[in-house]
Copies of this chain bind each other. A is one copy, B any other.
Amino acid sequence: MIESDIFKALADPTRYAIFEKLAAGSMNASALREGMTISQPAMSQHLAVLRNAGLVREERQGRFVNYEVDPEGLALIARWLAKYRAYWPSRVDALKSLLKDMDQ
């Protein structure tokens, strides 16, 4: 996976909204569609992109497929962000030392 792929997954406003909704609580694909004007295949395709990016993971539950935020994707972004800590504004300087611990 190219590093820009995870950003590409979040670049689409619809996909971004889906991720935000999932972050508020895990649910299945049908529940995700509620309140959004989006077709079933479109939702399925977006979820596949988010899953391939490591931002979301799925779990079969009978006929339903439950989706939830995958911490690994967020960790990837966190590690990416840590690379540029030299440029962070001073008011978050306190983070510098702790992010160092994340670098393995």
Report which A residues bind B (CB closer than 8 A): 2-4, 7-8, 10-13, 15-16, 23, 69, 71-72, 74-75, 77-78, 81, 83-84, 87-89, 91-92, 94-95, 98-99, 101-102
Contact = CB atoms under 8 A, between A and B. Distances in A.
B4 A13 contact: yes
23 contacts: A2-B13, A4-B10, A4-B12, A7-B7, A7-B10, A8-B11, A10-B11, A11-B11, A23-B87, A69-B84, A71-B88, A72-B89, A74-B84, A74-B88, A75-B88, A75-B89, A77-B77, A77-B81, A78-B95, A81-B81, A94-B98, A94-B101, A98-B98
A67 to B, nearest CB: 13
